[in-house]
Amino acid sequence: MLIEITIEFEEVFSGKTKKLLEKEVLPSYLTSCRWFASKAKKVQDVEIIEDMFITGTSAHILFIRVTYTDGLPEIYLLPVAVAPQSKALLNDYPFAVIANVTTEHSEVIIYDATYDDAFRRAILSFIIKRKSAKGLNGHLNAFYERRMRHHGDSYYNIESSQVLKADQSNSSLLYEKKLIMKLFRKLEEGINPDIELLRFIAEKNDKNPIAENIPIFMGSLEYKYNQSSEPIFIANLQSYVQNEGDAWNHTVCNITRFYEEILSSKTNAGKIKVLHKSLLDVNYENIPKILVDLIGIRFLGMVSKLGKTTGDLHLTLASHNDNPDFTPEPFSTLYQRSLYQSMHSMAKRNLELLRKNLKTLPDPVKEESENILNHEKDVLQLFKLIVEMKITASKIRIHGDYHLGQVLWRGNEFVIIDFEGEPLRSLSDRRLKRSPLRDLAGMIRSLHYAPYSTLLKTAIFTHKDILELTPWADLWYFYISGIFLSSYLDRVKTTEFIPSGRAEFENLLRVFMLEKAVYELGYELNHRPEWLIIPLKGVAHILGI
């Protein structure tokens, strides 16, 4: 609901109007934004704590502190602009309008400035020219990578820009398919791993195999309250990656064709015998020929390439001992115990949530849910392996939120993007060293989601089709995940971050896969209950029940 307020134009972000925005406008606006992380919490108070004017525009960059009735406060970035009412803006981006404002002489709107081309150009120029701006309590400074300056004027003359629609926790601005700027919406003190990892890899450009498979870091915006305070990074500027779409969309297209060929050929999945129980036993030679034909050699090659590229990433992140933030570390008993406590608590919480929602679930999903709840002890017992086994592998910096949507395909290779880590974790937590098997588990869970979500959301498949295709989904997932894993292991071989024995590797991977699948139970119950069947099947598959 838009609020009508009468003020002088220059008073929009001060005095009584500021208080009105904080009390009546911003609470409802923020909770409607897709990048607002705490929609489930009750907002108690909203306060504008920083205001920086961007010269050459009508835009201000605001820091907004949100306090809740429960839990710690959070700070969000909101660039805002004031302009005459625009039918184009109202029609194309109605969600960007924050409030209607009546001034002494005209009616204007306050809106999210990321949807203003003048602001997008101004903020790019701010970085390239290494400007600074003073706010109410601190300073905003731009950093522009020195080796990027050989581009000369090519980035000064960008004529068009747009806001990408795909983001959720942040906002990305695209400049003529040359540059991308990511604006971090939820702010914290400390370096953001999305900037830290890109800069680290770029600095090792002549020594690592992954340099061609990540975006080029170009610059950033950094805010400080004073010289001794920790920085708050609000933007990351990087090269745009020419691509043919992300790996998720390519995978879904392959699966759809895979299913359509099965239905047209009336092939029976029951005739295919799976002689292997472990993903570690899969290689190209033992994939049944009929599956090779249905999946296609080109897609199998893409999956193999994905495994190798993932291996290159981990090799790079683990290969330098001159930086303590990237030096590999051994697992400790204390760390393993902490992992178990975290997994145990999360499992108890999500399984209890599943139990409370049983009555509302459709019968087939209810049966799968009861099956998992009946094996709660098995879930907790598998997690207990994390403290019972000696882990010979080391911890390294990892991607942290690795799945098919974080990888772009550009004709003959993959480019890995979004090194920010899981948005719901704190910055300090996202910078911790972890087992790279967490990244593997994330990608394998994504490969499990792909065939089942395609069945659930593709309107062309009837209920009968779904029953017929489900065994094929199991086969696709098993062999594709196995190819990804074997290609990865072929690339990294016997490095220190990989467990030395097969049993240790398999147990550790199963633990991390189960952790991911049990987390997904809670996520789907809260956000997409119609997809709950996917993590339920995942937990069952990992437990072997």
DSSP letter string, 72-135: --EEEEEEEEEEE--HHHHHH-GGGEEEEEE-SS-EEEEEEGGG-HHHHHHHHHHHHTT-EEE-
The counts of H helices and E strands in the chain are 16, 18
pLDDT the model gives residue 93: 83
Q: Distance between CA atoms of 516 and 392, rounded to whole angstroms?
A: 22
Q: Identify the CA nearest to 419 among candidates 199, 165, 180.
A: 199
pLDDT the model gives residue 1: 47
Contact 350, 369 (CB under 8 A): no
Q: Which domains are present in the chain?
A: 4-239 (no CATH), 247-543 (3.90.1200.10)
Amino acid at 479: Y
Contact 25, 109 (CB under 8 A): no
- Look up residue 459 and give its DSSP letter: T
Cα-Cα-Cα-Cα dihedral of 283, 289, 292, 293, to 10°? 170
In this structure, what token pair is assigned to residue 361? 């679930």
Amino acid at 214: I
pLDDT the model gives residue 10: 56
Q: What is the DSSP string of 225-241?
A: SSTTSPPEEEEEEEE--
Q: In tens digits, what is the pLDDT along the chain, a chain of 545 residues?
A: 455 555 555 566 777 778 888 998 999 999 999 899 888 889 999 999 999 988 878 889 999 999 999 989 999 999 998 887 766 676 788 888 998 877 666 777 889 999 998 899 999 999 988 999 999 999 999 998 766 655 545 666 777 899 998 667 899 999 998 899 999 999 999 999 999 999 888 876 556 678 889 998 999 999 999 878 899 999 999 999 999 999 999 999 999 999 999 999 877 776 777 767 899 999 999 999 999 999 999 999 999 999 999 999 999 999 877 889 999 999 999 999 999 999 999 999 999 999 999 999 988 899 999 999 999 999 999 999 999 999 999 999 999 999 999 999 998 899 999 999 988 788 999 999 999 999 999 999 999 999 999 998 877 888 899 999 999 999 999 999 999 999 999 999 889 999 989 999 999 999 999 999 999 999 999 888 999 999 999 999 999 98
Dihedral angle sign, alpha carbons of residues 238, 35, 234, 438: negative
Kindly state the helix (H) or strand (E) to which residue 50 belongs, with its residue range. Answer: strand 43-53
Q: Distance between CA atoms of 531 and 31, rounded to whole angstroms?
A: 24
DSSP three-state, residue 190? strand
Q: Are strands 407-409 and 414-416 parallel, antiparallel or unpaired?
A: antiparallel
Q: Distance between CA atoms of 437 and 273, rounded to whole angstroms?
A: 29
pTM strictly above 0.85: yes
Q: Are strands 74-84 and 186-187 parallel, antiparallel or unpaired?
A: antiparallel
pLDDT the model gives residue 204: 65
Instruction: Name 133's Cβ contacts closer than 8 Å, sequence gap at least 6.
Output: 52, 53, 54, 55, 61, 126, 139, 140
In this structure, what token pair is assigned to residue 132? 């600074």
pLDDT the model gives residue 6: 59
State the Cα angle at 267 between 263 and 270, rounded to 5°.
Answer: 120
CA-CA distances (angstroms) from residue 309 to 313, 315, 409, 417, 425?
Answer: 6, 10, 11, 12, 25
- Angle, in degrees to the nearest 10, between helices 463-492 and 247-265: 130
Q: Distance between CA atoms of 26 and 330, rounded to whole angstroms?
A: 46
DSSP three-state, residue 166? coil
Q: How many CB atoms lie within 10 A of CB 45?
A: 13
- Look up residue 21 and give its DSSP letter: I
Q: Distance between CA atoms of 326 and 199, rounded to whole angstroms?
A: 12
Contact 515, 383 (CB under 8 A): yes
